[in-house]
């Protein structure tokens, strides 16, 4: 196991379109180890999601998980999910606004509107096809993480920067609001 270095805003890899993962590539011991390293890195960094470009590998792979996360204390737990080559289909006209942060955009939070419901398809770590519906917090995290695969960060999805907030001020002024979104 190894902790991977997080690419921060300004690193060109965060702006690239990621390549799909092939079955052959996915099933190699090296790639399976990479998936484990991504999970470990997400957990150590208190992230609720991590995409491969954020650890400098331009591949369509995201991992997510949330269990009593200190960075998101008001949000529900999410079981561990490893998803390759994800495709999201928006399934609602309803948009929900919530605070987002990102391990690649250190110490900032901002409000972003996301689609309330999605259909998700992709592949698990054995490269078996998966598909499911997602709503609420899971839907938001999936939209955030898959944006990384097309070179976007949450700042690009903000309608304006008037809610852009340093983490310290977020904790002082806005943390309690997070439960309402």
Residues labelled catalytic: 145
DSSP characters over 17-76? PPBPPPHHHHTSHHHHHHHHHHHHHHHHTT-SEEEGGGGT--BSEEEEEESS-TTSTTSP
Rounded least distance, CB 177 to Ni ion, Å: 20
Looking at the chain, how many residues does it have?
181
Q: Which is nearer to Ni ion, 29 or 161 (CB)?
A: 161
Q: Which is nearer to Ni ion, 27 or 150 (CB)?
A: 150
Nearest C-alpha neighbor of 50 from the set 19, 92, 13, 6: 6
Q: Which is nearer to Ni ion, 88 or 102 (CB)?
A: 102
Residues that bind Ni ion (CB under 5 A): 102
Rounded least distance, CB 10 to Ni ion, Å: 14
Q: How far apart are the first and last CA of the chain?
A: 36
Q: In whole angstroms, what is the distance from residue 85 CA to residue 112 CA? A: 24
Rounded least distance, CB 122 to Ni ion, Å: 18
Rounded least distance, CB 51 to Ni ion, Å: 7
Sign of CA dihedral 104, 108, 109, 110: negative
Residue tagged 């770590």 (tokens):
125
């Amino acid at each position: 196991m190894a902790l991977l270095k997080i690419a921060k805003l300004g690193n060109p890899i965060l702006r690239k379109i990621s390549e799909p993962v092939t079955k052959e590539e996915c099933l190699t011991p090296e790639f399976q180890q990479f998936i484990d390293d991504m999970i470990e890195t997400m957990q150590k960094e208190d992230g609720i999601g991590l995409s491969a470009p954020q650890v400098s590998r331009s591949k369509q792979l995201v991992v997510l998980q949330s269990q009593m996360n200190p960075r998101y204390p008001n949000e529900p737990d999410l079981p561990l999910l490893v998803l390759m080559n994800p495709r999201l289909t928006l399934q609602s006209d309803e948009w929900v606004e919530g605070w987002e942060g990102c391990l690649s955009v250190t110490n900032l939070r901002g409000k972003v509107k996301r689609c309330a419901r999605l259909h998700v398809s992709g592949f698990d770590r054995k490269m078996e096809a998966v598909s499911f519906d997602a709503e609420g917090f899971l839907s938001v995290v999936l939209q955030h993480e898959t944006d990384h695969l097309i070179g976007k960060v949450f700042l690009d999805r903000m309608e304006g920067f008037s809610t852009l907030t340093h983490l310290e001020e977020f904790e002082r002024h806005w943390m309690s609001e997070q439960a309402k979104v």
